[in-house]
Amino acid sequence: MDPNATKNPPPFNPHTPASEPVFPLPETGRSETSTPSGEVSEPAEPEPKIALSEWFQQDRTLKRSELCLAAMLKGWSPEQDLEEILLTKTELDTLIRDARIQFRQICNSHGIVDTKKAYIIPSEGLLVAFICKRPTPAAIERVMQALFSDEPAVKAGAHKTLFNDCVLWPDAPRRTALFNDYAGMQHTLGGVLHQKSTGAKEALEKKR
């Protein structure tokens, strides 16, 4: 035999399986992959999209404050119907994670290391939220004095002043646009902030 002769390749065997062949599924456009044993694995089912209102009923860990903050980050309408917002579990988790990251970043940018010294204040009935620092004891004392003032204008503006002194986010133009669209929002949010900060103060005093 001529040692320099070219060796012929082995004949093609059509019954020899290729490694991990992929077969398209015409009816769905998806693909399925064969296993080493020759079985065909089923493609993963897509996550179901569920209305946000339904997620609230299923997941008791959801916080409305974080959802409202997430809605503002996404640019949703303040009056968006929760029935119309369809999300998978992954999308929902990402939404809430981004809101928490934003909260921490805003706190850090204002020198607030302990996030318990700040709040996410949601607006009642709207997908709107504000990040506020916790009022100082002196600020709370000024509010109390204003609320007991004999001057109606001073009393009426007490909570609005408190809110304006403590709000960190969003920026002034966006806040102004919201306050122009929804009259009385500052006063209401200032009242919520006052209530939350007073409760935090009382809890701190009990620990002492």
pLDDT per position as a tens digit, 37-81:
656 667 778 999 999 999 999 999 999 999 999 999 999 999 999
CB-neighbour burial class of residue 162 (10 A; exposed 0-12, middle 13-18, buried 19+): buried
Which residue blocks in 18-136 are alpha helix, DSSP H?
52-58, 64-74, 89-109
CB-neighbour burial class of residue 44 (10 A; exposed 0-12, middle 13-18, buried 19+): exposed
Question: Which amino acid is it at 121?
Answer: I
**pLDDT for 43:** 72
Instruction: Give the global pTM.
Output: 0.75
| Distance between CA atoms of residues 168 and 158, nearest Å | 18
Is the Cβ–Cβ distance between 50 and 83 less than 8 Å? no
Task: Choose among 136, 97, 137, 103: nearest CA to 120.
Answer: 103
Beta bridge partners of 50: 87
Domain ranges for the chain, please list them: 50-207
Q: pLDDT at residue 17 above 50? A: no
| Distance between CA atoms of residues 51 and 81, nearest Å | 10
Give the model's confidence band at 184: pLDDT under 50 very low, under 70 low, under 90 confident, else very high. Answer: very high
Question: Which amino acid is it at 173?
Answer: P
Task: Choose among 122, 78, 121, 75: nearest CA to 98.
Answer: 75
